[in-house]
Amino acid sequence: MAGTPDFLWLLDNEEILQLMLFACPDGVVVVDRGGKVILYTGSSEGIFGFAPIEVLGKEASGLFASDETWRAFSEALGRDGAVKNLEMQAVRKEGEPFWVAVSAAILRDRYGETIGTVLYVRDHSSMRMIQNTLHDRNRQLNDLVEELDFLARHDQLTGLLNRSSAMEAAQNPLIACGLTGRPFSVVVFDIDNFKSVNDAYGHLAGDEVLHSLAGVMRQAAREGDIMGRFGGEEFVAFLPAASLEQAVTVAERVRALVKEFRIPIGDGVFTSVTISAGVAEIPGSAETLREAIRVADDRLYSAKRAGRDRVAAADKLPGNDRTRSAA
């Protein structure tokens, strides 16, 4: 035949097929209609570890980790007529499971009758190992990003939101309250005579006081309340849908719990502190969040001037002391 390489004249079709199968890097397994192996190439032996004599005439499902795996493959093949790079768990001769990618097609004779199935099998264990490693690295990276995000948003000593994050977290609840006509209250807390704690017991004791106050605030908070540390010994509570009176109730609960709390400061020594607080409501006391914080802060210092250990819910007017006392 003109144009045909000379060496092909020396080969019949069977020899050409054998050369092709020998050169194929994938394992080639041919299965008859009954599910038994009728062809098993050398590459297949390298992948599975079984010698041809151990496989030929046996159920092809024995090359895979479970009957369910083979059944799922057979169902996909019967439905679509072929599968491409289907990841399956196979089993080596030693019994070790491993991952393979299988492409397969149904073989039909010239009359369209099914005569068997051909499977092209590629060892996917290294690829799966790489994928698993990448998955683990991505998970570790995501965990690190979440941890860094938490650290960026929270005060490391108390675990409460820091000032900017607390302000940010308050925005959506504040807008929602405005749209529905519900109030939004702000409470600013400050530890009374905090410097004396540091001076008397040291900064580690001061840190324990701050940490304890944060725990009390969490205990007193309602669902949806936003607690934050504004810096130093000053804390804030944003209370969505809370009226001024409801905010005072929360503030009083925090004040009373703090006063009763005995704070360990080392060597069996305990101390206690008191706090003062100022309360403001939007829209009753202010129109904006920053303005409400300023009003609450002013009222806080009114409470301190009035003797500390109290909650101020209104401005102190000349001749009319409207500062709410703990007494």
The pLDDT value given to residue 327: 29
Q: Which of 68, 93, 128 is the last residue of a domain?
A: 128
270 located within any domain: yes
| Structural domain range at position 28 | 6-128
Instruction: Check whether residue 83 and residue 171 sit in a common domain.
Output: no
Quick check: 175 pLDDT over 60? yes
The pLDDT-based confidence of 321 (bands split at 50, 70, 90) is: very low
Instruction: Check whether residue 175 and residue 102 sit in a common domain.
Output: no
Quick check: 79 pLDDT over 60? yes
Instruction: Check whether residue 124 and residue 68 sit in a common domain.
Output: yes
The pLDDT-based confidence of 171 (bands split at 50, 70, 90) is: very high
Q: Quote the number of domains for the chain.
A: 2
Instruction: Check whether residue 194 and residue 122 sit in a common domain.
Output: no
Look at 17 and 229; give whichever has higher pLDDT. Answer: 229
Strand order in the sheet with 27-32: 37-40, 27-32, 114-123, 97-108, 82-91
195, 265, 276, 298 from 318: Cα distances, Å? 30, 42, 21, 15
Quick check: 85 pLDDT over 70? yes
Three-class DSSP category at 222: coil
Mean pLDDT of 198-204: 82
113, 249, 259, 265 from 255: Cα distances, Å? 86, 10, 6, 20
pTM score, two decimals? Answer: 0.61
- Which positions are annotated as active-site residues? 233
Quick check: 319 pLDDT over 60? no
Instruction: Check whether residue 117 and residue 187 sit in a common domain.
Output: no
The one-character DSSP state at 26 is S
Q: Please report, as a single letter, which amino acid is at residue 273.
A: V
Quick check: 260 pLDDT over 90? no
Q: What is the DSSP string of 87-111?
A: EEEEE-TTS-EEEEEEEEEEEE-TT
How far apart are alpha carbons 89 and 233 in whole angstroms? 60
How far apart are alpha carbons 324 and 303 in whole angstroms? 8
The pLDDT value given to residue 3: 52
The pLDDT value given to residue 13: 58
Instruction: Check whether residue 21 and residue 120 sit in a common domain.
Output: yes
Instruction: Check whether residue 111 and residue 161 sit in a common domain.
Output: no
How far apart are alpha carbons 192 and 232 in whole angstroms? 12
Mean pLDDT of 312-326: 52
Q: Where are the beta strands (DSSP E) in 13-128?
A: 27-32, 37-40, 82-91, 97-108, 114-123
